[in-house]
Amino acid sequence: MTATIEPGSAPAAEESAKLQRHFGRFDILFFLICTIVGVDTIASVAGAGGEAFTWMVVLAVVFFVPQALLFAELGSAFPQEGGPYLWTRMAFGHLAGAINNFLYWVTNPVWLGGTLAISAVVALQTFFNDGADFGTPAVLAISVVFIWVAVLAAVLSFRIGKWITTVGAFARFVLLGLFTVCVVVYASQHGVHGLGASSFLPTMGGFVALVGVLLFNYVGFELPSAAGEEMRDPKRDVPFAIARSAVASFLLYAIPILGILLVIPADNVTNFGGLVDAMKSVFTVFGGSVGADGTVTLTGLGQVVGDLGAILFVLCVLTSGVTWIMGSDRALAVSGYDGAAPRFLGVLHSTLGTPVRVNVFSGIISTLVLVLAQVITQGSAAKFFGAVLGVTISTTLVSYLLIYPALWKLRRTRPDVPRPFRMPYHRVLTVVLMALLAFTVVQLIAPGAPFAWFGDDYRPDGWKAGEAGLYLATELVPVLVFIGVGVLFWWLGAPTRRANAAAERAAHEALPVE
């Protein structure tokens, strides 16, 4: 392979030579399904009741689809390794690329060691421990194994690693398909809760509460492009995979959310165990019962199906983490050899072609997040979930504030680059995406602003009216710290930028004079 970052870039040429093209059309499709469909947040949406479904449909039209079109163009026009980092850097420079890429990357080890690991623990204790909480040592042991299995999967060459994400996609098909069938059977036996039409009416309070998690669920189309030089034919395959994964992902979200709303009253759906609780309830159609107090007991075949469902759930959350670590770690490694991060991180394994150093770095951060959160929350899984999910959503969505407008900028600065797919109405749709994103970031940091900041209809659960400043600091300070680390990474990348610039000058001077 030849370098595709910049002509004459010695580090890019050295690292790109280690890459192998193992990423085909359907590999990208299944990778995207694992990326976008996160079963850990399904209950967060369902807990808001019928209007959650309404807002999910609305945002699918005005956000999900335009975003798919945007990344179909960027991913097919600029199929270099490092995708989202490289697009931002080409459009806005190394400093913007460094800051944005750190925000994009740091989300994932925090998410892996936080919500994903604990979601897996909850599923296991619900089905294998009769719903009783594991002790803190057991939670830590299970979560550490979960984290490092994900890291090991990310370390593997795409020749092997792509099969892990394929298995993860099919685990979603089986789990959510089985759940949907059981919901229908359960409803025929026990009736439904009968959501009235009024419950689907959208409200501003509901929108503010839901927009963050819905947008978080809907992002990720760009992630396979972080491995752009490992794709067999990105110009053809990226638009194909994005179109099909968009349809599949929407259905995989919509159907189980409606199922939860039919099976469990919205007031009883928790962020943490809603989908798992609903699974346990509907699996009683195979054997078991639901007591008058809501206690679910599985017996016989019901217990077997429940155990299988728990394993599939763990596999789903594990592969969510694996795909995001695979993609974001590659983007960080590319920034390392492109001069927007320490050169030490910008090294690919000579035979695997994977960023092993960044993978291990991610695993260490995930483990630290896990241990610190368990200590800080004294083992409270629900508090742990809420705190980590808030930071995760904030940093993820902030990073897209520069990724989206990169398309508009590159249309102007690099108009001669062939574009196998062109986003229609790119100006209007990009403005819509940016407006929704900016509004969401404001709501995550200051709920209800500017019309009713921290008012009763907008204040997050567990917070009091006089704690607006504390909440603002809780959300804003980590983002500012991450931005500061991004600036530090840019500064540490200066020697690499100087070396790359010198190599480019030498290459141009060596060209024959006509």
- Of the pLDDT bands very low, low, confident and very high (cuts 50, 70, 90), residue 501 is confident
**Residue 12 domain-assigned (yes or no):** no
Q: Are 67 and 258 within 8 A, CB to CB?
A: no
Give SS3 for 77.
Answer: helix
Other C-beta atoms closer than 10 Å to the C-beta of 502 total 12
pLDDT per residue as tens digits for the range 129-184 = 887 888 888 999 999 999 999 999 999 988 898 899 999 999 999 999 999 899 88
505 in any annotated domain: no
Q: What is the CATH number of the domain that holds 444?
A: 1.20.1740.10
For residue range 382-437, list pLDDT tens digits in order.
555 555 667 776 788 999 999 999 999 999 999 999 999 999 999 999 999 999 99
Q: Which two tokens stand for residue 295?
A: 């206690």
pLDDT in tens, 294-350: 788 899 999 999 999 999 999 999 999 999 999 999 999 999 999 999 999 999 999
Q: Range of 63's domain? A: 21-497
What's the domain count of the chain?
A: 1
- Is residue 6 a part of any domain in this protein? no
Give the pLDDT score at 382: 55
Q: What is the identity of the amino acid at 371?
A: V
Single pTM value for the model: 0.91
Please report whether residue 113 resides in a domain: yes
Q: Say what the pLDDT of residue 307 is.
A: 94
Helix axes 158-190, 234-263, angle to 10 degrees: 30
Q: Is residue 3 part of a domain?
A: no
352 within some domain: yes
Residue range 52-101, pLDDT digits in tens: 889 999 999 999 999 999 999 999 999 999 999 999 999 999 999 999 99
Three-state DSSP class for 328? helix
Say if 120 falls within a structural domain: yes
DSSP three-state, residue 496: helix
Residue 281 is assigned to a structural domain of this protein: yes
Q: Which two tokens stand for residue 258?
A: 């409606």
Give the pLDDT of residue 273: 58
Q: Are 56 and 45 in contact (CB under 8 A)?
A: yes
Q: How much of the chain is in helix, strand and coil states, percent to nearest 5?
A: 75, 0, 25
pLDDT grade for 5, boundaries at 50, 70 and 90: very low
Task: Compute CA distances 492 → 59, 341, 495, whole Å.
Answer: 39, 6, 7
